[in-house]
Structure 1
Amino acid sequence: MKKRSIITVAVAVAGLFTSGVTAADAAQLEEVIGSAHGTVFRGVGVFGAPLLGRFQYQFTNGDHHIRQVAAMPLPQQSAVEVTFADENGDDNYGYRVSHERVDPTGIVPASFHGICAGACTVPLFTRPAGDFVFVLSGFRFGFDNGDHHLDMIGVAESGSLLTVQYKDTNGDDPFTYDVSYAWVPRSRLGSLGENVNTVHAAGRTTSPAFAGEKVIRGFFLDNTAGGDAGDNHIRDLGIVANANSFDVQYSDSNAADSADWRYLIRYATLV
C-alpha cells in the first residue's frame, strides 16, 4: 500500500482554515493556501490528473459584491489559478484550493467554455464509451457586466448534461464560465454520494459523508429567499472535504441574520 503524501504550496493564513487531512492510498493531495487580492497563479506539480478536492475563500475585510470566482488547474503552466474578487479586485482574501493528484491511466480530461445568463444546461460530447464518472477538476466564473450580489453558484453533470448557475436574484446578468473536468473509470472510485440540505441562520455547516478521501463531482450553493433577501454580499464561500464529512460555507458578514441557503454536493471517494 502506498503512503499518502501532501504537498502544500504558499503560506497558510492563520485562523481561516483547518486541514481535515487523513491518510489514503494511491493519491497525492496538493494544496495551494495563502492570501491574495484579485487573481493569483500558484505553481504546482505536474504529475497525475488533478481532481478537485476542496475550495475555500474568505474576504478578510468584510463582505463584498462578487465578479469572479476561480479554482482552475492550468496543467500546461504547472499552476492553479485562484480568484475571489469584486469588480476592482483589490480586496484581500484567504484561499485554499486542493486537488487529489491521481494516476492518469484511463482518465479522460476535458473542458468546456461557455457564456450564459442565470443558468444554462449544455450537452457534453466528451463522455467515453464504458462506465465512467464525471469529476470536477476546476471552475472559473465571471460576470461580464460588473460585480453583483450572489444568489447561486454551481456546476454539476447529469446524463452527460452540464448545468452551470452563477447569478444574483433576478438571474439576467451574462457571465462567462470555464469548467475543467475528467471522466474517471468507475473502477477507480469507491462510494458515490450526494448531500442536499438547507441551512438556517448560520454561514457554515457540517454535512456527514462517506469515509475516505473525496473528490467533488458537482455542487450548488443557493440562497433560498425571494425578493430583496434573495441575494447577498459574500464573505465566505467553500466546500471542504474531511475524513467523514464536508464543511460547507456560504455567507456574508452577518450570517446569523441571513436568509436560509441550500447546498448540494455530489462527490466520490477514491480507492
Structure 2
Amino acid sequence: MVEMEYRSNGQFGPIVKEAIMASESNSDAISAAAASNIEESFSDGGPVVRNFPTPGVPLLNTFYFQYSGDEHHIQQIIALPDFPENGKIEIGMNDEGGQADYFFKVGHYIGHDSRFRQFSRSLDIGANRQATFEGGRPSASMVFVLSGFQLAFRGEDHHLDEIGIFESDGTVTVRLNDKNDDDSFVFRVSYCYASRDLFSSVGLARGSNAKGGARKPIPSGQAVMRGFNMNFRSKDHHIRDLGAVLPGDGRAEVYFEDKNGDDGFDWSLGWAVLG
C-alpha cells in the first residue's frame, strides 16, 4: 500500500481549497460528500455553535481545522454534537486568546438503526500524556465508532506533540500532550458501539514519518471513524492545520503540521464502511 504525502504550500491547505472551489463554482461536490451532515465555514476566533439534526446517532467521518494565517499554540479542539445542548454542535480550534481566525469542516453520518448504541464520557481529566476509561462495550463483536470530542489543555495553551482517541478491547484511550508529557487536560468523548453486520468492512490505515499530511486507500463507501492518533516524531510544534478525513470515495487522509509542513509524524486512522 503506497502512502501519498501532502504539504500545504499556500495560504490554504487542500481541504480549504476544495471548499472554496466548490463554493465559487456552485458545485455540489461538498454537499454530495458521504456525510449526512457537514458543517464548514470560517470562524473569526473561538468556538462556533450550530444547529445539529436530531434524532439519530452521529457517526463522525471528518474533522479538519486550519488557521487562516500563521501557526498557533493549541488550547482546545472541539467537534462535539449535542453540546452545549441537544440539537446543537460545538466546533472549534483555538489558542488561549481565542482570537485567531480558522477554517473548519466537520462531517457526520446520522444513524437511525437501533443497533447503534450511543455512549458518552462526560467532562473528565487526563494527565501525563493520556487518559483511559472503560467504554461499556456491550459485546466483544461490536464496533466502536466516534461521534465527537472535546480536548483542552488546562491553564495555558501549548505546542502540540500528540493527539488521539481510539478504542481497543473495550478500553478507550484519549491523548493530548506536548513534548514533556506532563500537562493535564480535560476531555469529553461521544461515541457508539454498533453491530458488526452494519459494516461491509472494518480496518485501520496507518503510516510513519508523514510530512504535512498523508493519504492511504480504503474501500469506497460511507466510511465512519473508529479512532485516530497523530504523533510528531521529534519535538512538539505550533499547529497550522490538523484533521482526519474519510470522504467516502476510497480515501483515508490525515493532516498534522505547522506552517512549514516539514516535520515527520506517525499516524493511524480507524475506519468502518457502512454496508
| TM bracket, shorter-chain basis | 0.7 to 0.9
* Structure 1 segment 211-230 matched on structure 2, within 5 A: 211-225=220-234, 230=235
Partner of 2:193: 183
The answer as to 2:113 corresponding to 1:104 is: yes
Quote how far apart the aligned CAs of 1:127 are. Answer: 1.6
Partner of residue 209 from structure 2, selected from 191, 195, 199: 199
* Structure 1 segment 80-229 matched on structure 2, within 5 A: 80-113=89-122, 114-124=124-134, 126-129=136-139, 131-200=141-210, 202-225=211-234
Partner of residue 268 from structure 2, selected from 229, 249, 264: 264
Partner of residue 35 from structure 1, selected from 42, 57, 70: 42
- SS of 1:118's partner is coil
- SS of 2:129's partner is strand
Q: In the aligned structure 2, how far is the partner of 1:204 from the partner of 1:178?
A: 26
Letter in 2 for 1:267: W
Kindly provide the CA deviation profile for residues 149-181 of structure 1, in whole angstroms up to 9, marking residues without a partner as x.
000000000011111110000111110011100
List alignment gaps of at least 5 residues for structure 1: 1-12
Alignment: residue pair count: 249
* Structure 1 segment 1-20 matched on structure 2, within 5 A: 15=17, 17=19
Cα 1:20–1:221 change in 2 (3 A) is farther
Letter in 1 for 2:121: F
Q: In the aligned structure 2, how far is the partner of 1:23 from the partner of 1:153?
A: 26
Quote how far apart the aligned CAs of 1:189 are. Answer: 1.4
Partner of 2:54: 46
Structure 1 stretch displaced more, 74-83 or 52-61: 74-83
Letter in 2 for 1:234: I
User: Any conservation in 2 of the 1:55–1:238 contact (CA below 8 Å)?
Assistant: yes
Partner of residue 65 from structure 1, selected from 51, 62, 73: 73
Kindly provide the CA deviation profile for residues 1-55 of structure 1, in whole angstroms up to 9, marking residues without a partner as x.
xxxxxxxxxxxx962647577687xxx6101011111111111211321100100
Cα 1:209–1:118 change in 2 (3 A) is farther
Cα 1:47–1:209 change in 2 (3 A) is same
Letter in 1 for 2:39: V
Letter in 1 for 2:251: S
Q: In the aligned structure 2, how far is the partner of 1:162 from the partner of 1:129?
A: 15
User: Any conservation in 1 of the 2:225–2:272 contact (CA below 8 Å)?
Assistant: yes
User: Any conservation in 2 of the 1:119–1:163 contact (CA below 8 Å)?
Assistant: no
Q: In the aligned structure 2, how far is the partner of 1:214 from the partner of 1:102?
A: 12
Aligned-pair identity (%): 32
Cα 1:171–1:188 change in 2 (3 A) is same
Instruction: Report the TM-score when normalising by structure 1.
Output: 0.86
User: Any conservation in 2 of the 1:121–1:161 contact (CA below 8 Å)?
Assistant: no
Instruction: Report the TM-score when normalising by structure 2.
Output: 0.85
List alignment gaps of at least 5 residues for structure 2: 1-14, 23-28
Q: In the aligned structure 1, how far is the partner of 2:31 from the partner of 2:101?
A: 26
User: Any conservation in 2 of the 1:145–1:173 contact (CA below 8 Å)?
Assistant: no
Quote how far apart the aligned CAs of 1:121 are. Answer: 4.5
Q: In the aligned structure 1, how far is the partner of 2:108 from the partner of 2:225?
A: 10
Q: In the aligned structure 2, how far is the partner of 1:23 from the partner of 1:15?
A: 15
Letter in 1 for 2:150: R
Partner of residue 240 from structure 2, selected from 214, 219, 235: 235
Cα 1:240–1:21 change in 2 (3 A) is farther
Quote how far apart the aligned CAs of 1:146 are. Answer: 0.8
